[in-house]
Amino acid sequence: MKVRKRRRAPTSPLEKANRKSDQDFIADYLQPGAPGLLPWIREWKHPRTQEDYTVDLVKSNLMQEDEIQACFRLIEETSRSDYENSTTRWTPDSKLKEMRSEGLRYILVRDGDRSVRGFTSLMPTYEEGQPVVYCYEIHLKPDLQGTRLGALLMGFQATVAYNLPPISKVMLTCFLSNTRGLEFYKKAGFVRDDLSPEVRKLRGKMCTPDYVIMSKTISRIRGDETERMPAAACPPMANGGVSKKVAIGREVG
Ligand SMILES: CC(C)(COP(=O)(O)OP(=O)(O)OC[C@H]1O[C@@H](n2cnc3c(N)ncnc32)[C@H](O)[C@@H]1OP(=O)(O)O)[C@@H](O)C(=O)NCCC(=O)NCCS
């Protein structure tokens, strides 16, 4: 007889969040919009064409293969040259492996034919002991760029961070060659994080990083008081999240 192991109860709020169904994740972390940000929406209208799009949250393990491939092609379309010109290189297998990471969720923007036209992906995780929402990717088809859809999707990332204490930041990595991406993040309130790598001397040679780690600190409003949340040091998650070292060494996107 096969003895069934009992699943260990989640011990941290992040682990608990990562185990939730998409429906519960939306209800608990996306529905109550953070101050000044839009709560979760299921539909979005293109401001120039008036075309209707749907917005869905899907856990990586529930993504259809064609959806993963559509997201992959979008990364390739917008960012392949940045990868190719970096030390990371364009390595489809490792990118696809990362895209299927346990605990990663996708916010998919689809057109009337259900084709993926844009997405962002995120994971509540610990980064060098700090609880953060890590934004893994954000990519829009060219005809959806400059429509404030990017700002809306980044707003969802901030809303999850706001609704999931003890998270204090949204964090991401961006190639320094992606100057448009950097300007977009700066406009959204992101700054260089202390975890971002510095120029180092390695075997007598200066090594300049080709990416930057950026973050945005999330404040919580209580009544009319603004509470700046401390970046509490927490142990890495037992499971349900990428270990900090893996996350630091993750693909830049
Ligand atoms: C980066 C990206 C997600 C931004 O989304 P977007 O819908 O084009 O941007 P938005 O229209 O939401 O812009 C939000 C704000 O940022 C500003 N902004 C956007 N790009 C900018 C740029 N290159 N320079 C200055 N400001 C910029 C907008 O003017 C807007 O300002 P506002 O708040 O005053 O209106 C999108 O352009 C994209 O998919 N780019 C290719 C993929 C990519 O580079 N992803 C990032 C990988 S790290």
Residue-wise pLDDT for 119-170, tens only, equals: 999 999 999 999 999 999 999 999 999 999 999 999 999 999 999 999 999 9
* Residue-wise pLDDT tens digits, 25-63: 999 999 988 898 989 999 999 999 999 999 999 999 999
C-alpha–C-alpha distance, residues 8 and 80, integer Å: 40
Kindly give the distance from the C-alpha atom of residue 182 to the centroid of ligand 1, in angstroms, as a whole number: 9
* Residue-wise pLDDT tens digits, 209-231: 999 999 999 988 654 333 333 33
Residue for token pair 């998919």: 108
Please name every residue paired with 130 in a beta bridge, in sequence order, or none if there are none: 127
Q: Give rounded-to-5 percent helix, strand, coil for the chain.
A: 30, 30, 40
How sure is the predictor about 4, in pLDDT bands with cuts at 50, 70 and 90? low
Residue for token pair 């036209």: 117
Ligand 1 pocket check for 177: Cβ under 6 Å = no
Which tops the pLDDT comparison, 179 or 248? 179
Supply the pLDDT for residue 227. Answer: 36
Q: Is the peptide bond before 166 cis (omega within 30 degrees of 0)?
A: yes
What mean pLDDT is predicted for residues 14-34? 95
DSSP string, 114-154: --EEEEEEEEEEEETTEEEEEEEEEEE-GGGTTSSHHHHHH
Q: Which atom of ligand 1 is closest in space to residue 179's alpha carbon?
A: 23
Kindly give the distance from the C-alpha atom of residue 82 to the centroid of ligand 1, in angstroms, as a whole number: 17
Q: Which atom of ligand 1 is closest in space to residue 253's alpha carbon?
A: 48
Supply the pLDDT for residue 234. Answer: 28
Q: Is the pLDDT confidence value at 245 over 50?
A: no
Which of 140, 178, 184 for a ligand 1 pocket mutation test, highest count of atoms within 8 Å of Cβ?
A: 184
How sure is the predictor about 1, in pLDDT bands with cuts at 50, 70 and 90? low
Average pLDDT, the chain: 88
Is residue 102 a contact partner of residue 240, using CB atoms and an 8 Å limit? Answer: yes
Q: Is the pLDDT confidence value at 240 over 50?
A: no
Q: What are 18's two structure tokens?
A: 């990562």
Residue for token pair 């010109």: 85
Q: Is the pLDDT confidence value at 244 over 50?
A: no
Which tops the pLDDT comparison, 112 or 9? 112
Is residue 182 a contact partner of residue 160, using CB atoms and an 8 Å limit? Answer: no
Supply the pLDDT for residue 2. Answer: 60
Q: Which atom of ligand 1 is closest in space to residue 120's alpha carbon?
A: 3
Q: What are 82's two structure tokens?
A: 């940045």
The C-alpha R_g of the chain, in whole angstroms, comes to 18
Ligand 1 pocket check for 148: Cβ under 6 Å = yes
CATH topology of domain 13-248: Aminopeptidase (3.40.630)
Task: Output the pTM of the full model.
Answer: 0.88
Which of 187, 196, 250 for a ligand 1 pocket mutation test, highest count of atoms within 8 Å of Cβ?
A: 187
